[in-house]
């Protein structure tokens, strides 16, 4: 750091406010404004770590209010502003911003004067757009050679590191556009533009180019690591609320259950088989098969004569139900007529089978969102439906693909706001339900998302993917990059949506059964575990009965999902507090260069290393027939990251990090490893998430390092947790002293356990790891809410 920067930081740390005036710039409450070479530039600090950069042609139209960003700049920030011949400098205790007074190019440094990111000289461009007086806008950055970046939504290209990629950020089935990336250097860039955007990284630089905008508008977030970058992103765009506990159970779905009897029978059958289940999904055409009544939000299909009775039956079986609702409506529906009378429709839509008498509502109009919810509330929510499957949230299937961008919305031409449709659409449902009741947490399953959508209680899924091993593997990097885009909740259709293309025999084909089992194992370690698809049914009993290899493997992993419920729900609380559940390896091992582009492993929470099996091992095809060989056990190669030791979850064997290993992977085993120093609570075997009280949790300790874990609990399905009506129990393992300390319980909630038992197991090879509950524990602790420490020899 040169002397001038040292002096500036010294002034800042001493609490002094340095001001340097010049005719060439203007000081603002949160930074500076300047006019350079015909461009108006503003540097605006939102927090000491977050900087907004605005650039526009001199005197042009002001920036419109952001749809993604909801934060306001902090008041009374301590800024230091310095003026040099060629540069203006604005800095806080965390970030230094330098603005070139000749070219308007900006550079960002950390507090130690290390360069983090710089704009390319003359890398800002404006040209006339199709929506005057707005512009086609471009900003190009120059990244360091070898610098890995992640995020940009979900793109099924099968890569983790987005360097060298060219991506069209335009909402579509199977492609989720989020104009945000973060760097392995510990910073992020949020490009605040709602129009179709082209991302490109090549020898000329790293650029965002948006088709419509008042100017360049982006946020630089300095975090130091991935978790803090995401925390900064959510500070700008909103925190992710906590989902109901039941959403962490197992979900069964199909395209589609064709009667209320069929829906209820699936739930009844799971209970009869004693296979855990918490959710059932009712897909489309409950409104009837005449497409003029498309998405009426009413049960018009005669096969659903008593919808409330259907919902009540699901609840009587201790399960929950969500239902499909679209953003488009047939021309004979009451809701269509309500929209049409007030000119609140904006685009012709093509459904299946082809029907052109369907139109999309203008979600950007607040009154249209009111009408949308009023019909959902009156016809669906009122009978007890627990959540929403908002399908086609892009939306896609417009009749006229060439001119759809010219459709007019409440906020202007659709081209200007198209990527934000899922954000506004889901936001309307979230806000309205919360106004109706706080006793039922909002749960939305959506196919698309945009910056900030995490604040609306939305779980994304990867779209209508095809059943296939290569597609399956690409789900992993797609979901991880979406998580690195700040949107923490994601899943995929277990087994792939379209099975008939590669597996016309469906569940009768052993090759499909193998793919389905492996995909379900992966789904066990996703934020939502949900089976869904078309062409062939997916319920567990379609795969045989107890004793059949596919059935047994499916049942084993569904049970494992429930055993991990205390761990998963505690991690869900961490998400609500700014964390990430499904974690790319670079988040926890940023200095291990071997992990930077690994696309088939990840952390689930900060303790579990997951390596899905994404290749066929036990079935083969020849002459149109499928052969099965389960006796010859195959192995899966995987890498154990450096800097820690690892325990094989299934055997308890301890292994060193920084090595590639081969793990035996019979059909009912997916490689799982636990980081040394982890403390993992495991719950009881149960049929649904609230069947049994967690009064005797198994606490697994993985020695070799000090460890901490916070067990989070609350009522499970209301918003009292926002008032801190919940509990936290901190566990700490001192590896050298071999002591476990369980601290005083913090907080309370109605119905909480006053006293409970913690059965402690220090995991080692052969002492009851994997799915088995040990017959003997290292310690049995009776806990009354007061701190206790025990030593384990």
Active centre residues (catalytic): 391, 394, 464
What is the C-alpha R_g of the chain? 27
Please say whether the beta carbons of 639 and 598 come within 8 A: yes
C-alpha pair distances (Å), 400 with each of 46, 404, 449: 41, 6, 23
Q: Which structure tokens are listed for 428?
A: 């309307």
Which residue stretches of 452-492 are H helix? 469-484
Alpha-carbon distance of 178 to 174, in angstroms, equals: 13
On the 0-12 / 13-18 / 19+ scale of CB atoms within 10 A, 476 is: buried
Question: Can you tell me which residue has the tokens 């923490």?
Answer: 488
Alpha-carbon distance of 345 to 359, in angstroms, equals: 6
C-alpha pair distances (Å), 226 with each of 151, 222, 319: 11, 10, 36
Question: Can you tell me which residue has the tokens 């761990």?
Answer: 567
Nearest to 256 by CA among 558, 488, 538, 470: 538
The angle formed by the CA atoms of residues 463, 464 and 465, to the nearest 5 degrees, is: 100
Alpha-carbon distance of 31 to 51, in angstroms, equals: 9
The DSSP line for 6-59 is HHHHHHHHTT-------TTEEEETTEEEEEETTEEEEEEEEETTEEEEEEEETT
Q: For residue 293, list its beta bridge partners.
A: none
Question: Can you tell me which residue has the tokens 């052993």?
Answer: 510
Alpha-carbon distance of 148 to 587, in angstroms, equals: 12
Give phi and psi for 711, each to the nearest 5. Answer: -85, 120
Alpha-carbon distance of 432 to 376, in angstroms, equals: 10
In 497-611 the beta strands, taken as DSSP E runs, fall at 529-531, 582-583, 602-604, 608-610
Q: At what angle do helices 366-379 and 334-341 cross, to 10 degrees?
A: 160
Count the alpha carbons within 13 Å of 671 in the hemisphere toward its beta carbon: 24
Nearest to 454 by CA among 246, 236, 155, 227: 236
Nearest to 518 by CA among 674, 666, 685: 666
């Amino acid at each position: 750091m040169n002397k001038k920067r040292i002096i500036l930081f010294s002034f800042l740390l001493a609490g002094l406010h340095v001001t340097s005036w010049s005719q060439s710039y203007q000081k603002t409450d949160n930074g500076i404004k300047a006019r350079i070479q015909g461009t108006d530039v503003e540097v605006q600090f939102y927090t000491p770590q977050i900087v907004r950069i605005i650039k526009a042609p001199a005197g042009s139209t002001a920036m419109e209010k952001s749809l993604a960003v909801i934060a306001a700049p902090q008041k009374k920030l301590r800024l230091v502003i310095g003026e040099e011949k060629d540069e203006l400098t604005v800095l806080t205790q965390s970030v230094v911003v330098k603005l070139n007074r000749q070219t308007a190019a900006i550079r960002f440094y950390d507090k130690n004067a290390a360069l983090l990111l710089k704009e390319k000289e003359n890398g800002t461009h404006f040209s006339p757009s199709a929506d005057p007086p707005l512009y086609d806008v471009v900003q190009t950055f120059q990244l360091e050679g070898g610098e890995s970046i992640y995020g940009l939504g979900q793109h099924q290209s099968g890569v983790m590191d987005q360097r060298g990629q060219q991506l069209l950020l335009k909402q579509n089935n199977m492609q989720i556009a989020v104009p945000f990336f973060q760097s392995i250097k510990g910073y992020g860039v949020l490009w605040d533009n709602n129009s179709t955007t082209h991302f490109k990284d090549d020898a000329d630089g790293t650029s965002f180019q948006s088709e419509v905008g008042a100017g360049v508008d982006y946020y630089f977030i300095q975090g130091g690591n991935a978790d803090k970058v995401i925390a900064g992103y959510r500070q700008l765009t909103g925190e992710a609320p906590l989902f109901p506990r039941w959403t962490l159970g197992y979900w069964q779905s199909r395209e589609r259950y064709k009667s209320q009897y069929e829906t209820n029978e699936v739930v009844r059958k799971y209970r009869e088989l004693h296979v855990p289940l918490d959710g059932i999904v009712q897909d489309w055409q409950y409104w009837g098969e005449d497409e003029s009544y498309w998405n009426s939000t009413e049960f018009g299909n005669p096969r659903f004569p008593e919808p409330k009775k259907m919902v009540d039956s699901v609840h009587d079986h201790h399960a929950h139900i969500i239902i499909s609702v679209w953003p488009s409506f047939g021309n004979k529906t009451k809701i269509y007529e309500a929209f049409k009378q007030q000119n609140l429709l904006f685009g012709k839509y093509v459904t299946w089978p082809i029907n052109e008498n369907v139109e999309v509502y203008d979600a950007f109009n607040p009154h249209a969102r009111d009408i949308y919810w009023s019909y959902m509330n009156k016809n669906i929510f009122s009978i007890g439906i627990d959540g929403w499957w908002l399908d086609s949230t892009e939306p896609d299937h417009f009749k006229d693909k060439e001119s759809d961008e010219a459709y007019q919305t409440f906020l202007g031409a659709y081209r200007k706001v198209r990527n934000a449709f899922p954000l506004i659409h889901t936001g309307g449902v979230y806000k309205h339900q919360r106004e109706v009741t706080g006793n039922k947490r909002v749960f939305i399953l959506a196919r698309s998302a945009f910056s900030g959508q995490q604040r609306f209680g939305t779980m994304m899924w990867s779209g209508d993917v095809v059943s296939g091993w290569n597609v399956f593997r690409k789900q992993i990097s797609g979901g991880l990059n979406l998580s690195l885009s700040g949107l923490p909740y994601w899943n995929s259709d277990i087994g792939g949506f379209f099975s008939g293309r590669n597996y016309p025999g469906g569940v009768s084909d052993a090759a499909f059964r193998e793919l389905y089992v492996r995909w379900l194992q992966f789904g066990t370690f996703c934020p939502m575990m949900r089976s869904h698809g078309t062409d062939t049914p997916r319920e567990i009993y379609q795969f045989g009965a107890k004793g059949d290899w596919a059935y047994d493997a499916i049942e084993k992993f569904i049970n494992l999902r429930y055993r991990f419920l205390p761990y998963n729900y505690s991690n869900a609380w961490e998400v609500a507090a700014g964390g990430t559940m499904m974690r790319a390896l670079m988040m926890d091992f940023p200095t291990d260069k071997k992990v930077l582009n690994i696309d088939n492993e990840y952390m689930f929470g900060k303790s579990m290393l997951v390596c899905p099996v994404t290749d066929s091992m036990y079935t083969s095809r020849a002459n149109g027939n499928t052969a099965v060989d389960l006796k010859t056990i195959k192995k899966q190669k995987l890498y154990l990251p450096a800097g820690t030791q690892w325990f094989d979850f299934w055997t308890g064997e301890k292994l060193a990090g920084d090595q590639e290993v081969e793990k035996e992977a019979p059909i009912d085993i997916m490689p799982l490893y636990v980081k040394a120093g982890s403390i993992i609570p495991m719950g009881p075997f149960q049929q649904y998430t609230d069947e049994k009280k967690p009064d005797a949790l198994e606490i697994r300790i993985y020695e070799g390092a000090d460890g901490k874990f916070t067990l989070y609990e609350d009522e499970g399905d209301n918003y009292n947790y926002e008032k801190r009506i919940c509990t936290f129990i901190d566990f700490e393992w001192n590896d050298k002293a071999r002591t476990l300390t369980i601290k005083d319980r913090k907080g309370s909630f109605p119905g909480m356990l006053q006293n409970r038992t913690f059965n402690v197991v220090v995991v080692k090879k052969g002492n009851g790891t994997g799915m088995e509950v040990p017959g003997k524990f290292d310690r049995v602790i009776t806990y009354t809410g007061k701190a206790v420490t025990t030593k384990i020899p």
